Amino acid sequence: MPRTAEDAELARREAQKAADAAQLALQKTIEELTTRDMERARRRRTADQRWSEGDTPGSTTARGRVYVREGEPDETTTVNGVETWLYKDTTKTPVTREYQFDAHGERIK
């Protein structure tokens, strides 16, 4: 319990600083989620345009699911009807994720 008016004012200012910091952190989190959601929606639309088959949205096909999750591959190759998508992650250690699809777009690996 504050002892003086000065102590009470100091406590009020500290509480306001903490509330302001919490509000700023919440705002940043909302902006990050909004950006991520917008990117995911963009990827879904792209997948639907590229790989839709009849009544099946492209974003629900094997290629579409990988595309929505991972984004545009860093490299693609096709050998003997097998399409390979490579994703390189060099943020920590060089890691490569590889996805393979058969001629019908089904995931092999």
The residue-averaged pLDDT of 40-56 equals 95
Helix (H) or strand (E) holding 45: helix 5-51
Query: Over the stretch 5-44, which tens digit does the pLDDT of each residue have?
Result: 888 888 888 888 888 788 888 788 778 778 888 999 999 9
**Burial level of 5, CB count in 10 A (0-12/13-18/19+)?**
exposed
- Summarize the confidence of residues 41-58 as an average pLDDT: 95
* pLDDT at 86 (0 to 100): 94
Among residues 53, 95, 54, 55, which one has the least CA distance to residue 74?
95
Is residue 97 over pLDDT 70?
yes
Nearest Cα neighbor of 99 from 68, 72, 66 is: 66
Q: Is the pLDDT of residue 95 over 80?
A: no
